[in-house]
A and B are shown apart, each in its own frame.
Chain A
Amino acid sequence: MTFTTQLEIGLKLFNANLKQAWRDKTNWMTAGMFAITALLLYSFAFNLTGGLVRNLLPGVIWTVFLFSGIFATAQSFQQDRQNGILDALKISPIHPMTIYIAKTLTNILMLLLIEFALLLGATILFSEPLFIPQLLLIVTIGTIGYTALSTLLSAINLDRNNGGLLLPVLALPLLVPLLIASVEATSASLQEEANTAPWILLLSLFTIWSAAIATLMFPLAD
């Protein structure tokens, strides 16, 4: 199969994945509700009011994003497997990388929708300018980074009874560089004179690394 054909099939798969995600909203609705509830719990636990907000908010936002994102992606291939779609795709001439990229792009899009909605909500709740272009860029890069890795781990974790529980244990230690870079970049973007460039650079480096390694490793997991 040529690259163009793989690209066309990839787009079709992406489209099908989006339709499936739209039809079966339970997973994404649960992830969204989890994110909102966790944000509220953090605001009660840390008393996120007044001057403390700006210091604590980056850490709070990113832990909420990571936990809800990993829980949501844990089920990425579950339905495909139950319906026999995954087996059908495996025996088809479609390259495993195409299957992986289509699934990851779907996860990224769905998670970005949840995260942007959460940022909008947090802007209103904490009276902090969180819906700014620089922060949206940081969130987008960070989401691509952690979704690339967690989608791969969800695929390789598929055959386990305790897969849902094991995924955060497997994924979170690997995501430490992303968490540090994302929190620091977010923190810098909320301050007027701070320099976000080194952290965005580290974040981009991690994102490229995780996307490349996950794409290369997926065919071996098949």
Chain B
Amino acid sequence: MILNNIYELRWKVLPPAAGVAMIGMAALALITAPTEVVEGDVQRLLYVHLPSALASYFAFSVTAVCSVLFLLKRDFKWDSAAQGAAIVGLIFTLLTLMTGSLWGKPIWGVYWQWDPRITTTLILFLIFSAYLIARKSTSLDSDKSARFCSIYAIIGFLDIPLIHMSVRWWRTLHPQPIIAKLNPALPDEMLLVTLVSVLAVILVAAWFITLGIETELLSQRLLKLKAIGKANISEKS
């Protein structure tokens, strides 16, 4: 009941909150945040990169939770929610990989490193792309397909820690390339901008997820209406 009430507020709260937070993030990241001494302006990509990665994890978590709920309740709204969140997750994963590569070229000298986090993110992208291909290759109202894809999404989500662990061991036991690394202890001003960026991007992701869910729900309604229309036509003829 409380969750339903919160969800009802989605159009009133999410777009303005995300908009204000994004304007704040842009102003802080481009004007207020100091330029990093070693990396220069390219470091500002961090304010998009890190929040995008967190937003993608958030979206895929929503997919996994909704998939569990679909298997338990067999209500298609949970399947729609899982699909809508997966699309948003893929967009933010792609953004994470792209901003990471753009940052990597001037800092590491290459666009791609076989670093555990980057590799895990790429595999995450492949798993949920496969999920969406499988889900979209059959009818939206197919109970079997929805069940199968929910199972796949859950397995894929649970596989992530194992993938990360295996890639980390794989890299650790191999010779490490000498690379420049970000100092994890960020100065206070940068930390503040990062936190605001995380909040802004998570709000945008939540809004996009809502839009994705609504789109999928409308697609399912359209499908049902088409089926009713067809049945009426065949009855008349």
Contact surface of A with B, Cβ cutoff 8 Å: 149, 152-153, 156-157, 159-160, 162, 166, 169-170, 173-174, 176-177, 180-181, 184, 198-199, 202, 205-206, 209, 213-214, 217, 220-221
- Tell me the smallest distance from the CB of B118 to a CB of chain A, in Å: 13
Q: Is the CB of A173 within 8 A of B130?
A: yes
From DSSP, what is the main secondary structure of chain A's interface residues? helix
Assembly CA distance A177 to B167 (angstroms)? 7
Interface members, chain B 133-177 (any A CB < 8 Å): 133-134, 137-138, 142, 144-145, 147-148, 151-152, 154-156, 158-159, 162-163, 165-167, 169-170, 173
Q: Is the CB of A176 within 8 A of B137?
A: no
With A156-B148, A213-B158 known as contacts, the answer to whether A177 contacts B137 (CB < 8 A) is no
Q: Does B91 make an interface contact (CB < 8 A)?
A: no
Q: Is the CB of A206 within 8 A of B162?
A: yes
Interface size on B, residues (CB 8 A): 29
Q: Is the CB of B173 within 8 A of A184?
A: yes
Instruction: Give the nearest-CB partner of A172 in chain B.
Output: B126
Q: Is the CB of A220 within 8 A of B134?
A: no
With A169-B130, A184-B173, A220-B71 known as contacts, the answer to whether A202 contacts B145 (CB < 8 A) is no
User: Which are the 9 A-B pairs with shortest beta-carbon distances?
Assistant: A177-B166, A156-B148, A173-B126, A177-B162, A180-B166, A173-B127, A170-B130, A169-B130, A180-B170
Q: Is the CB of A176 within 8 A of B138?
A: no
Q: Is the CB of A209 within 8 A of B162?
A: yes
Q: Is the CB of A174 within 8 A of B148?
A: no
Assembly CA distance A177 to B170 (angstroms)? 10
Q: Is the CB of A166 within 8 A of B166?
A: no
CB-contact partner of B137 in A153, A160, A209, A221, under 8 A: A160
Q: Does B65 make an interface contact (CB < 8 A)?
A: no
